[in-house]
Amino acid sequence: VRDLFEGMAATYGIVNLVSSFGFCRRWRRQCVTLAAPAAGMVVYDLMSGMGECWPTIARAVGARGRIVGLDFSPAMCVRARRTAARVRGPAIELLERDVLGNAIPSRAADCIVCSFGLKTLSPAQRDRLAAEIARVLKPGGTFSLLEISVPRARLLRAAYMFYVKRCIPVIGRLLLGNPDHYRLLGVYTEAFGDASGMVEPLRARGLEVEFRRLFFGCATAVRGRRA
């Protein structure tokens, strides 16, 4: 997975934006909004990629807040550091490491967000991620995890998955990416299904959880809080 994102880093931003008709930006904003970060908060952005969520988080937490991004792809982190240099307001720190072996202190986060990071994790890894979220959140802390998903409605599902699996690799190639990488993302998306599979692992760790479908289920999110 790390090699996959290393290979995609140069084209990921533009392919994502074009192939989603801009929806990726809207969904990221929704992901952040669902976690409800506020002024002065410490927000952890897990599997932060190039820091795509940071402008939205920065507006919410302001200059007294702090953003900590985490990603294990060095190529993504290079780009994230450029994003950090551009974003005004909060201090931004980047941890270049695996989210499942992260060394983040317990009860460090007021808020945790994760956009488009779930699909490449196996069910066992998602379970470990749920445990990490419960450990890292402060009491009263909130979280939001969003991922592109397989819609339930049969016709929409067929059309959307055709687009994801067949058309996006072509767009990837047109934009100078490796079509095999984008094909693989379609395979991961289909196997992932939707974010409902995160509900029970998170509840099992004592977190309050709510499941949301966005745009007819083309993306789904789980949000919630630690009591």
List residues near ligand SAM by CB under 6 A. 1, 5, 28, 47-49, 52-53, 71-73, 76, 98-100, 115-117, 120
Question: Which is closer to ligand SAM, CB of 77 or CB of 209?
Answer: 77
Residue of this chain nearest to ligand SAM (CB atom)? 49
Closest distance to ligand SAM from the beta carbon of 170 (Å): 19
CB of 45 to ligand SAM, least distance (A): 7
CB of 155 to ligand SAM, least distance (A): 27
Q: Which residue, 148 or 208, is less far from ligand SAM as judged by CB?
A: 148
In the complex, what is the shortest distance from the CB of residue 32 to ligand SAM, in angstroms, rounded to a whole number?
10
Beta carbon nearer to ligand SAM, 47 or 60: 47
Which is nearest to 149 in space by CA: 214, 224, 53? 214
**DSSP SS3 for 35:** helix
Minimum distance, C-beta of residue 22 to ligand SAM, in the bound complex (Å): 13
For residues 99 and 184, give the distance between their C-alpha atoms in angstroms, rounded to a whole number.
21
Give 76's contacts (C-beta < 8 A, 6+ positions apart).
5, 6, 9, 12, 48, 49, 50
Residue 1: how many CB atoms within 10 A of its CB?
15
3-state SS record for 151-173:
CCCHHHHHHHHHHHHHHHHHHHH
CB of 154 to ligand SAM, least distance (A): 26
> Measured from the CB atom, is 42 or 70 closer to ligand SAM?
70
- Cβ proximity to ligand SAM, 11 vs 115, nearer residue: 115
Element (H, E) at 40: none
| Residue nearer to ligand SAM on the CB measure, 4 or 153 | 4
Strand order through the sheet with 42-46: 91-96, 66-71, 42-46, 109-115, 137-148, 219-226, 207-214
Structure tokens at 137: 């959140």
